[in-house]
Amino acid sequence: MPGSLSDHQKDAQEINFEALQNIFQDRENQVFVMVLGAVVVWELLATSLEWTVDESLYEYLDFVDATDRYGRLWIWSYLGASVGACSIAVLVDHLHCLLSSTTTRLAAHFYGYAILTALCSLVSVVLPIQAARKPSRVNKAAKALALLRSDGRAVLHAATLCLTGAAASATHNFLFWQMQDHGSSELYMGLSVAVGLLAEILLYFFKEKLLRTFSSSKIVASSLSLLAAQLLCYSFVWTAWSVLLIQILSAFSNGALWWVIEVTVDDVATPGTERSLHALLRGLFHGGGMSLGSFAGGFVVRCFGLAVLFRACSVCMVLWLFLFLIIQWKLPRQKKINYSRLLAADSSDMSDTDEENERDWLVKAMKDESFNRNWSQQRGIN
């Protein structure tokens, strides 16, 4: 018996080795492993590159006292993504007569991406690096996490970001497949990306008015509702061009949600931790929510299909909407005054206009005190 058992184990090991060898000998699996390795290596390199560029740019704007412009730089990245998506789509859509028989249209997308990556790498070599004025030895990530955990509304918004990131992964990963099943070309795919990004840019010009008119909870509830409607519409896509109309909802389902997150960060953050909190929340959205959503979404698509994935994500958003409203109602509603930010405010940040000075509580208090003193003196004289 022992001899026969060892023989069975050897046979099983040989079968597993042969199956594994056959998997790696398959051309499609080889291409997949190569692409996966290239993507992993690039993402590791791009993470440090993006972080270095972002830090250097912020330090330079801080050096020239123009950090107020930093919050609007995302518009340029959105415009670049829109132009890039449309340009590559148009290029591939009109290169069918120039491509050789061994080059597929999908490979042309990777070639275009590789060219843009090489150009970015060349530009990064000559990129000037601005050193920080005051290098801090404090672990900002741990401090940002502690600030996030100390506020109930911030924790609720962080959980909302994780779930919306998981739902958004369905759009990022499988929307093009849904469009392709309905006869879409690369041009419509590129336009769908551009329409969503441009809609967020256009809505940004009404940001201040919307934030003054509606409360944060109403904006988050509207964003979750529209995201659920958007995912549900994806499951019932009838033509390729209909996706362009649905993508307009991205302005509210994604853009407006991040506005509320920015307001939450301003309320919770202490001086010097704002950008760390933003990085932490974006990490929860991309690294936490979207990664887990992509992993789970692949199993759902394999077992049930694309339409079921979009509908399941829509139902999850509706359920979280009701849970969000209940938790929001249970949380205390007092407004915290961030005294550390008030004390750290520099006099150079104060505007010279009368309208903005009227909104400053310190200026109001000084004016009231001066008025009371003059009024008392006049009464004493009379």
Question: Do 182 and 291 fall into the same domain?
Answer: yes
Confidence of residue 101 (pLDDT cuts 50, 70, 90): low
CB contact set of 187 (below 8 Å; sequence gap of 6+): 89, 90, 93
Name the average pLDDT for the chain: 76
Question: Do 79 and 149 fall into the same domain?
Answer: no
| The predicted structure's pLDDT at residue 71 | 77
- Highest mean pLDDT out of 8-12, 224-228, 330-334: 224-228
**Residue 32 host element (H or E):** helix 27-63
| The predicted structure's pLDDT at residue 171 | 86
Confidence of residue 370 (pLDDT cuts 50, 70, 90): low
Asked, for residue 347, whether it belongs to a domain, the answer is no
Confidence of residue 25 (pLDDT cuts 50, 70, 90): low
| The predicted structure's pLDDT at residue 1 | 46
Question: Do 83 and 176 fall into the same domain?
Answer: no
Q: What is the mean pLDDT of residues 180-208?
A: 88
Which SS3 state, helix, strand or coil, does residue 101 take?
Answer: coil
Question: Do 80 and 210 fall into the same domain?
Answer: no
Last residue of a domain, one of 131, 161, 196: 131
Q: Does residue 102 surpass a pLDDT of 70?
A: no
Dig out the tokens for 378 from the structure.
């006049």
Which SS3 state, helix, strand or coil, does residue 271 take?
Answer: coil
Q: Does residue 178 surpass a pLDDT of 80?
A: yes
Question: Do 181 and 247 fall into the same domain?
Answer: yes
Which SS3 state, helix, strand or coil, does residue 243 take?
Answer: helix
CB contact set of 350 (below 8 Å; sequence gap of 6+): 356, 357, 360
Q: Measure Cα distances from 55 to 8, 51, 215 in Å.
A: 59, 6, 32
Question: Do 73 and 96 fall into the same domain?
Answer: yes
Q: What is the mean pLDDT of residues 200-220?
A: 88
Q: How far is residue 29's CA from residue 27's CA, in Å, rounded to a whole number?
A: 5
Question: Do 226 and 98 fall into the same domain?
Answer: no
Asked, for residue 382, whether it belongs to a domain, the answer is no
Q: List the helix and strand counts (H, then E) for the chain.
A: 18, 0
Last residue of a domain, one of 321, 338, 355: 338
Query: How do residues 288-313 score in pLDDT, each as one tens digit?
Result: 888 888 888 888 988 888 889 999 99
Residue carrying structure tokens 């201040």: 208
Question: Do 210 and 328 fall into the same domain?
Answer: yes
Asked, for residue 79, whether it belongs to a domain, the answer is yes
| The predicted structure's pLDDT at residue 144 | 76
Asked, for residue 373, whether it belongs to a domain, the answer is no
140-149 vs 152-181: helix crossing angle, rounded to 10: 100
Nearest to 306 by CA among 179, 164, 163: 179
Residues in the chain: 382
Q: How far is residue 256's CA from residue 70's CA, in Å, rounded to a whole number?
A: 19
Q: What is the phi/psi pair of residue 239, to 5°?
A: -140, 165
* Residue 178: burial class (beta carbons within 10 Å; 0-12, 13-18, 19+): buried
Last residue of a domain, one of 305, 323, 338: 338
Instruction: Output the domain CATH number for residue 302.
Output: 1.20.1250.20
Question: Do 95 and 149 fall into the same domain?
Answer: no
3-class SS letters over 69-95: HHHHCHHHHHHHHHHHHHHHHHHHHCC
Asked, for residue 378, whether it belongs to a domain, the answer is no
Asked, for residue 293, whether it belongs to a domain, the answer is yes
Residue 42 domain boundaries: 13-131
Dig out the tokens for 56 from the structure.
């250097």
| The predicted structure's pLDDT at residue 97 | 54
Query: How do residues 103-119 score in pLDDT, each as one tens digit?
Result: 666 677 777 777 877 88
Question: Do 175 and 290 fall into the same domain?
Answer: yes
Number of domains forming the structure of the chain: 2
- Residue pair 281/158 in contact (Cβ under 8 Å)? The answer is yes
Question: Do 83 and 166 fall into the same domain?
Answer: no
Residue carrying structure tokens 């940004």: 204
Asked, for residue 160, whether it belongs to a domain, the answer is yes
Asked, for residue 39, whether it belongs to a domain, the answer is yes
- Highest mean pLDDT out of 19-33, 74-88, 275-289, 298-312: 298-312
Dig out the tokens for 366 from the structure.
């000084």
Question: Do 92 and 163 fall into the same domain?
Answer: no
